Amino acid sequence: MNPNILQTPIDYLKGVGPGRADLLRKELGIHTYQDLLNFFPNRYLDKTRFYKTAQLERTSSEVQIVGKITHLKTVEQKRGKRLVADFVDDTGKMELVWFRGHKWIRENLKINTPYVIFGKTNWFNGMFSMPHPEMELVEEYKKQLRTAMQPVYPSTELLAKKGVSNRVINKIMQQLFAETNGKFYDTLTTEIREELKLIPKAEAMFNVHFPKSQELLAKAQFRLKFEELFYIQLQLLIKNMLQKKKIKGFVFDQIGENFGDFYKEHLPFELTNAQKRVIKEIRSDLGSGAQMNRLLQGDVGSGKTIVALMAMLIALDNNFQACLMAPTEILSIQHYQGLKELCSELNVSIYLLTGSTKTKKRREIHEKLENGEIDILIGTHALLEDKVKFKNLGLAIIDEQHRFGVAQRAKLWKKNTLPPHILVMTATPIPRTLAMSLYGDLDISVIDELPPGRKPIKTVHRYDSNRLKVFRFIKEEIQKGRQVYIVYPLIQESEKMDYKDLMDGYESIAREFPDNQISIVHGQMKPADKDYEMDRFVRGETQIMVATTVIEVGVNVPNASMMIIESAERFGLSQLHQLRGRVGRGAEQSFCILMTGHKLSNDSKTRLQTMVSTNDGFEIAEVDLKLRGPGDMMGTQQSGVLNLKIADIVKDNDILKTARYHALQILKEDPDLASEKNAVLKFTYAQLVKHKNIWNYIS
């Protein structure tokens, strides 16, 4: 079949017409035949099963029943009349209800004649009822040929009023198959199809829209999901390969004094194997001649900072500058202090630039940066300002990338003739398969090992009613010289209620702990006040820090060994894990107490149980992903992975892995897809790139 026919505008399809075409375009994004073909049902009504009235449950959704109407009556109600029929089968009775169209129904319904009815049931007044059922006489029902599973297309229920009901989509879909003959060329090679026992494309398309049986529907869905994920992976892998070919990078082939000295003489501890492995991966990127674009994932406290420093030292050894950008002022300062300390024995000049750097200092930094007197510049997004010009920026490290957009990442590139190498660090663990899809253009390194000697944080869940015991425990810890975080949810900083909760909490803690000093930090404070309070806690002048989630990212106070999270049920799992990561950073046993009321949803219970049972960020991320779907995961908003037409990145994880494996094997053997057997892949890939249809979400 000529694939171009699929590019025909939807207006040309018989039965569509200008009005519907407009609706299809505007409401469903269907512009062409191909768009319509790729508009997949999101569920199917199983019309193979018949229920008996006695089998109905309150949770049953759509059901099909055979029975007779024995009696019809009109019931007066406040907002008009209701027509109610008693419907009986050999096991019991239910009601059918109509709120409109009474006259027609009265005239046409046959009493005591067998009907097949279909619809949603409600439990009302101690009886099951079905409003506005689909009805057909059994006699008629038997005469017709029908597909077992009836597809339901997304949003058609909402659009039905405007004239695009499910039935309409069904009809025009039939028309589409008739006009195109339904003979879609196969987009996968025979080799893949045979290996994975995939059904042909045409058969898959037909069965996804008009399933002949459950079994064929499952096969059709598997084949199409595989194909969708396969082409995404193929595209990501090709993009990554091209990037490496096209984007030349500075070659850092020297390992000189800075790196060598530091490694041999000034390492404050032995590196973990994971840190060593990641440094090796980075070194190999930096020497390869292509620009490095690497994502460094490491759980909270896994030791990313030292890896970042060692990468920067390689840049310096090759006479380049490096910079490190963090999302907040506090974090920049912390990185600055930490790195200065680590480099105290080296001859390296490190500067800090943030929004609050004074003008005079700022000028000095600008100047020194341009003439190469600064080796490492650390700061917030102030580093992105046009005035900040490097002499030769060789490596840019970005901490916590989800706070910076992709566009900002690109801005750093423009600071040079050649783009600097980029290392993105994140403490938000993203399950590997998701990361592969989200950051396909970045290579991924993972620090999956914590430094030795860490005691796992003990996490417990306590109800508000046990608060006094919790307070007693806090007192004991403070007496041992430790510090405590108490965190309140302040998700919407503007929400007055949250703010009030925080202030009430602060007051009750001040009353409960009259002998202790308390810091308070929240988003409505001026940055300078925030820093002042934070600083007092960091220096150990205050014992308790009452805060909102502003402390979530990266704050490092090793003496703080206890974290209380108030209304813990209101936090997402990843966020709870990030918060908990603020403790357990020193040698002492640390604790995390999750406080909640007694009323908890099932999801909240799962979140709390997960936190109590594991400290592993990746495990937590997997659960989080299952609970929330990828939409809410940090950073995924920019990626468009959600625009998948048929596959589900979470549920179809195994298919995703298989798809990636096959895409990788094929490209390894035939990177340009030049061989005869891969011709179909090359052709399809070119079509996808050209028409940007379902794959246009990967920029």
* Min separation Cβ 517 and ligand ATP, Å: 24
Work out which of 38, 293, 302, 433 binds ligand ATP, going by CB under 6 A.
302
* Min separation Cβ 462 and ligand ATP, Å: 25
Work out which of 36, 300, 339, 346 binds ligand ATP, going by CB under 6 A.
300
Question: How many residues line the site for ligand ATP (CB under 6 A)?
Answer: 18
* Min separation Cβ 505 and ligand ATP, Å: 25
* Min separation Cβ 553 and ligand ATP, Å: 8
The answer to whether 691 and 37 are in contact (CB under 8 A) is no
699/692 Cα distance (integer angstroms): 10
Pairing of strands 350-353, 80-89: unpaired
Region from 171-179, 181-189, 245-253, 267-275 binding ligand ATP, contact rule CB under 6 A: 267-275
The token duo for 631 is 């939409």
Query: HSE on the CB side for 692, CA within 13 Å?
Result: 4
590 binds ligand ATP (CB under 6 A): no
* Min separation Cβ 298 and ligand ATP, Å: 5
Q: At what angle do helices 304-317 and 329-342 cross, to 10 degrees?
A: 60
In the complex with ligand ATP, the residue whose CB is nearer, 249 or 554, is 554
- The residues near 202 (Cβ < 8 Å, ≥ 6 apart) are 182, 183, 184, 186
In the complex with ligand ATP, the residue whose CB is nearer, 288 or 556, is 556
In the complex with ligand ATP, the residue whose CB is nearer, 304 or 662, is 304
Using the CB atoms, write b or e for 400-423: b if 16+ within 10 Å: bbbbbeeeebebbeebbeebbbbb
Region from 235-243, 300-308, 403-411, 631-639 binding ligand ATP, contact rule CB under 6 A: 300-308
In the complex with ligand ATP, the residue whose CB is nearer, 117 or 551, is 551
Binding mask 527-566 toward ligand ATP (x if CB under 6 A, else -) reads ---------------------------x-x----------
* Min separation Cβ 6 and ligand ATP, Å: 48
244 binds ligand ATP (CB under 6 A): no
393/606 Cα distance (integer angstroms): 46
In the complex with ligand ATP, the residue whose CB is nearer, 32 or 275, is 275
What are the φ and ψ backbone dihedral angles of 92, each rounded to 5 degrees? Answer: 170, -155
In the complex with ligand ATP, the residue whose CB is nearer, 220 or 326, is 326
* Binding residues among 191-230 for ligand ATP as defined by CB under 6 A: none
Work out which of 201, 304, 577, 662 binds ligand ATP, going by CB under 6 A.
304
Binding mask 370-409 toward ligand ATP (x if CB under 6 A, else -) reads ----------------------------------------
31/34 Cα distance (integer angstroms): 8
SS3 state at 151: strand
Region from 127-135, 173-181, 304-312, 637-645 binding ligand ATP, contact rule CB under 6 A: 304-312
SS3 state at 77: strand
Region from 146-154, 294-302, 416-424, 629-637 binding ligand ATP, contact rule CB under 6 A: 294-302
With CA atoms as reference, report the closest residue to 501 among 565, 554, 544, 553.
565
In the complex with ligand ATP, the residue whose CB is nearer, 218 or 267, is 267
570/568 Cα distance (integer angstroms): 5
- The residues near 77 (Cβ < 8 Å, ≥ 6 apart) are none
In this structure, the number of other CB atoms found within 10 A of the CB of residue 511 comes to: 8
In the complex with ligand ATP, the residue whose CB is nearer, 451 or 523, is 451
* Min separation Cβ 265 and ligand ATP, Å: 16
Binding mask 442-471 toward ligand ATP (x if CB under 6 A, else -) reads ---------x--------------------
With CA atoms as reference, report the closest residue to 209 among 192, 184, 246, 240.
184
306 binds ligand ATP (CB under 6 A): yes
In the complex with ligand ATP, the residue whose CB is nearer, 271 or 650, is 271
Work out which of 149, 427, 544, 625 binds ligand ATP, going by CB under 6 A.
427
Residue, CB closest to ligand ATP: 303
Pairing of strands 149-152, 293-298: unpaired
SS3 state at 413: helix
| Strands annotated E in 457-614 | 458-463, 483-487, 518-521, 544-547, 560-565, 591-596
How far the first Cα of the chain sits from its last, in Å, is 29
Spell out the SS3 assignment of 174-227: HHHHHHHCCCCCCCCCHHHHHHHCCCCHHHHHHHHHCCCCHHHHHHHHHHHHHH
The answer to whether 115 and 65 are in contact (CB under 8 A) is no
298 binds ligand ATP (CB under 6 A): yes
* Min separation Cβ 532 and ligand ATP, Å: 22
271 binds ligand ATP (CB under 6 A): yes
Work out which of 67, 119, 211, 301 binds ligand ATP, going by CB under 6 A.
301
296/293 Cα distance (integer angstroms): 10
Region from 271-279, 474-482, 517-525, 567-575 binding ligand ATP, contact rule CB under 6 A: 271-279
Region from 264-272, 568-576, 642-650, 669-677 binding ligand ATP, contact rule CB under 6 A: 264-272
Pairing of strands 376-379, 350-353: parallel
Work out which of 53, 150, 305, 357 binds ligand ATP, going by CB under 6 A.
305
In the complex with ligand ATP, the residue whose CB is nearer, 256 or 572, is 572
Spell out the SS3 assignment of 607-618: HHHHHHHCCCHH
106/396 Cα distance (integer angstroms): 76
| Size of the chain in residues | 699
* Min separation Cβ 564 and ligand ATP, Å: 19
In the DSSP assignment, the letter for residue 549 is G
* Min separation Cβ 121 and ligand ATP, Å: 51
634 binds ligand ATP (CB under 6 A): no
CA distances from 85 to 75, 113, 131, 625 (A): 10, 13, 10, 46
Work out which of 269, 463, 532, 697 binds ligand ATP, going by CB under 6 A.
269
In the complex with ligand ATP, the residue whose CB is nearer, 233 or 380, is 380
Q: How far is CA 176 from the centre of its chain?
A: 35
What is the amino acid identity at position 98? W
451/26 Cα distance (integer angstroms): 54
* Min separation Cβ 62 and ligand ATP, Å: 48
199/220 Cα distance (integer angstroms): 7
Strand partners, 120: 62
The answer to whether 446 and 298 are in contact (CB under 8 A) is yes
Region from 202-210, 268-276, 460-468, 590-598 binding ligand ATP, contact rule CB under 6 A: 268-276
272 binds ligand ATP (CB under 6 A): yes
The answer to whether 353 and 347 are in contact (CB under 8 A) is no
30/681 Cα distance (integer angstroms): 25
Q: Where are the alpha helices (DSSP H) in 62-137?
A: 102-108
Region from 92-100, 164-172, 297-305, 382-390 binding ligand ATP, contact rule CB under 6 A: 297-305
Q: Which residues bind ligand ATP (CB under 6 A)?
A: 269, 271-272, 275, 298, 300-306, 427, 451, 554, 556, 581, 585
